[in-house]
Amino acid sequence: MVETTRDTGKAEPTSAPVEQQRWQVVPAPVQPPPRRAHRHDLRTTIAIDLGRLAATMSRRFGLGSGAMIGGRIALTLQPRALRTLALGRQVVMVTGTNGKTTTTRMVAEALRSRAPAVSNATGANMPDGHVAALMTDPSAPFAALEVDELHLAQVTAQFEPAVVLLLNLSRDQLDRVGEIRTVAESLRHALAQAPGAHVVANRDDPNIVYAAADHPRVTWVSGGSRWKDDGLNCPRCGAFLGDADRAWRCECGLSRPEADWTVTADAAVAADGTRHELDLALPGQVNRVNATFAMAAAQHLGCDQAAAVHRIQRITQAAGRYGTVRLAGRPVRLLLAKNPASWLEMLDLVSTEQHPLVLVLNSREADGHDVSWLWDVDFELLAGRPVRVAGDRALDLAVRLHYAGVPATVADTVDEALAAAGDGVPDVIANYTAFRDLLARSRS
């Protein structure tokens, strides 16, 4: 609060002392952004009403969360539903190979420090999931939406988000998604369709740098990268770059940008030196980086930074990730690792601890059938530490662990592995379908 003094400029009688008026400058309270009500045409109204009804019935009869079916029905009846529901809102889109669900949860919480925000919290990250999320509260002025990397261009063709977060790109389900260069080109195209959006991008990932470099409004975040094997060559021309953590500049002109935010072991540091301490409930450097992306988005949309950080710090899990659940009659911490980069992050997280460890690996359609990438992961981080393995591809995983010097015991089921695990709260690292099934079991 600042005090100022102003002379009134009026003549006063000489017998009375000259009185000055004292003014106090009080900052105006932060007001939530207005959300104008939009009148929908009859077709759109019917599509939204039927979509909501389908989502409600799905939840009521235990058929699912309703996070997709409602949106799918609404889009079938009205293909323009996504554009219509996004009209008048400030929408943050979050994409990348890893960290989308957690970062989206952080963004949603940060935005709620200022005003209501809707979000596809269960990870339904394609247009039907976006429509279902937006239908939950048509009056909310904010939305935080996770979006599949290959669907961002489809979304920006419908409407222009206020902010787009580009987290990272690495190999993942190559038999479904395709090569990283294809995904990077798709992201470039998506951003070209949204020139007015503000982009928050990872400067430590050359593939993300390539996707965002030509956009006019970019905030660059630097938090380091544990997984480097997919960023050794220039995504524009193919020249060898080497370690992307250093200051690199390719002969084609693509270069590592200067950081606007740098993530340390305990804080996010702005370019001007301002520090924001990150005492998170969620563990690891990867989540401090995710939190910094969320902070940058919230700051751009006018949120009070301290209030946003406070809400982010209270998050203990995101769609079951990092949460403690009960399986086989005991509490376990459930961790998701679905590709080489995320396996390496989770191994880095548990390698400094001595909790009982169970690794679960499937190779179903949603995981990708090829598990040859196991040989790219640094399982040597666990050398000498006994682990138990389960899942459809437990034997493949056990062979890889054997060559990494990790004593592994194969179990027929996760329950069997947990029953034989030692004292304490086990860490269970599971890939996508294994994680999904274990989480569903814990909630039943």
Binding residues for Zn(2+): 234, 237, 250, 252
DSSP-assigned states of every residue in 17-48: PPP-EEEEE-PPPPPPPP----PPPHHHHHHH
Contact 35, 89 (CB under 8 A): yes
Q: Within 13 A of 390's CA, how many CA atoms are on the CB side?
A: 21
Largest CA distance in the chain: 100
Residue among 370, 378, 396, 415 flagged as catalytic: 370
Query: DSSP 3-state assignment of 270?
Result: strand
Name residue, tokens 């930074």.
Answer: 305
**Cα 420 to Cα 359: distance, rounded to the nearest angstrom:** 13
CA 359, 368, 107, 112: dihedral to nearest 10 degrees?
-90
Residues comprising the binding site? 234, 237, 250, 252
Secondary structure E strands in 134-280: 142-146, 163-166, 198-202, 218-222, 261-263, 267-270, 275-277
Residue tagged 């048509």 (tokens): 138
Q: Which of 120, 158, 135, 126 is nearest to 70 (CA)?
A: 135
In contact, 281 and 310? CB cutoff 8 Å: no
Strands 261-263 and 267-270, by their bridges, are antiparallel
The end-to-end CA distance of the chain, in Å, is 53
Q: Which two tokens stand for residue 300?
A: 């751009």
Write down the H helix ranges in 301-411. Answer: 305-313, 340-350, 394-403
370 catalytic, yes or no?
yes
Reported residue count of the chain is 444
C-alpha count within 13 angstroms, C-beta hemisphere, residue 65: 14
**Distance (Å, whole) CA 161 – CA 185:** 19
What is the separation of C-alpha 444 from the centre of its chain, rounded to a whole number of angstroms?
A: 26
Q: Is the dihedral of CA 123, 346, 289, 29 positive or negative?
A: positive
Return the active site residues.
370
